[in-house]
Amino acid sequence: MSRQLLIEADGGSRGNPGLSGSGAIVVDRVTGELLAEISEFIGVATNNVAEYRALLAAVKVAYEIAPHASVEVRMDSKLVIEQMSGGWKIKHPDMQKLAIQIHQVLAGRLVRWTWIPREQNTRADALANQAMDQRSSQILLLNENTDAGSETQVPIASSVEFNAALPSSVRAPAGVTKPLTTLILVRHGRTALTESKRISGSGGADPGLSEAGNQDAVAVARELARFGNSGVWSHLSAITAVVSSPMRRTRETAGHIALELGLEATAIQDLQEIAFGSWDGLTNEEAMAQDPDLFSAWQGSWEVAPPGGESLEVFDSRIRSARNQVLEQFAGQTVVVVAHVMPIRGFLRAAMNAGIEGYWRPQISPCSVSVIRAWGGEAAEVVSVNATHHLVTS
């Protein structure tokens, strides 16, 4: 018989919208043993959004403790209980996004929804107030015994210093008002040009994925399905959107990802790779031999462009436009951006407010994962760069 867990969750907002936090506990329904306490500082949000955030955090932790458990959710919010059980429609866009993430975690699992009076939900309420008072988030596991089987579980302690709503560093400027958007940057899989180490920009051939590239795309798609659920990405929100460059190799990679996540991928024109002009399809050595003086001047330059290609100055303006479009269109969501080496470097450079060197210092491998959290143009946080652990084969 599967384990039986009880979740009690609550959220609060001092101002509605205003300073907000959420709290939840996970309990063994049979023994009454307290298994986890969760408090999350959210920042500026409504009371209803805070309650949904409490539920999302709680179900993630519950299924880390016992992936196959049956769960009863108790909350004093009749709105959340009725909406999640299907009795009422969810109309608010922010709550719709959170509900999608919660349903992704709950897919195929047995859940019972129970409304309780406020006076019976005091433990979760206290944790929500703790988060608001201390302006910090914490997940405390009180029993290390889990039903996870042989799957490696990420210690919850790894997210103790992670702020789920605001920049994690105390050195970051305060006063962020824009919603958090998580950008998961994925380079396309390998192509025949990638494998032969030939220049492949936006103005030449438009190759599709090679056999190895398709295998890598499947691997990264499976890794992205772990966001918000398990593994090294469990403390981040589940993915709600997929966008890509319009080029064939990125569209094919995005297709694998969208299929795995049950989403649809859309193309954004400005995400395409930088144009290399007449150097496209050549090796670096061939381009250098064709235009030795220009090639030398182009290296490390902001203004110099290949014959018929783009300079970094022109390209950077295009990529900033693409970044702004993603942040505006998908504000508050977790979105996969499938692109190329230079666009991904451009996103990272903007997040770090780095110099021109940002366009050649980060290594970006095929089907690697880089993660940025951004609050519009007000703040940004780089979580990961060029993660490739999912591509390792035995």
Which of 51, 223, 273, 310 does the annotation list as catalytic?
273
Q: Is 92 part of the annotated catalytic residue set?
A: no
Q: What tokens were used for 141?
A: 């596991």
Which of 40, 64, 188, 340 does the annotation list as catalytic?
188
Neighbours of 299 (CB within 10 A): 10
20 phi, psi to nearest 5 deg: -135, 160
Q: Is 188 part of the annotated catalytic residue set?
A: yes
Considering only CA atoms, which of 307, 367, 315 is closest in space to residue 342? 315
283 phi, psi to nearest 5 deg: -80, 165
3-state secondary structure the chain: CCCEEEEEEEEEEECCCEEEEEEEEEEECCCCCEEEEEEEEEEEECHHHHHHHHHHHHHHHHHHHCCCCEEEEEECCHHHHHHHCCCCCCCCHHHHHHHHHHHHHHCCCCEEEEECCHHHCHHHHHHHHHHHHHCCCEEEECCCCCCCCCCCCCCHHHHCCCCCCCCCCCCCCCCCCCCCEEEEEEECCCCHHHHCCCCCCCCCCCCCCCHHHHHHHHHHHHHHCCCCCCHHHCCCCCCCEEEECCCHHHHHHHHHHHHHHCCCEEECHHHCCCCCHHHCCCCHHHHHHHCHHHHHHHCCCCCCCCCCCCCHHHHHHHHHHHHHHHHHHCCCCEEEEEECHHHHHHHHHHHHCCCHHHHCCCCCCCCCEEEEEEECCCEEEEEEEEECHHHCCC
| Catalytic residue positions, numbered | 188, 273
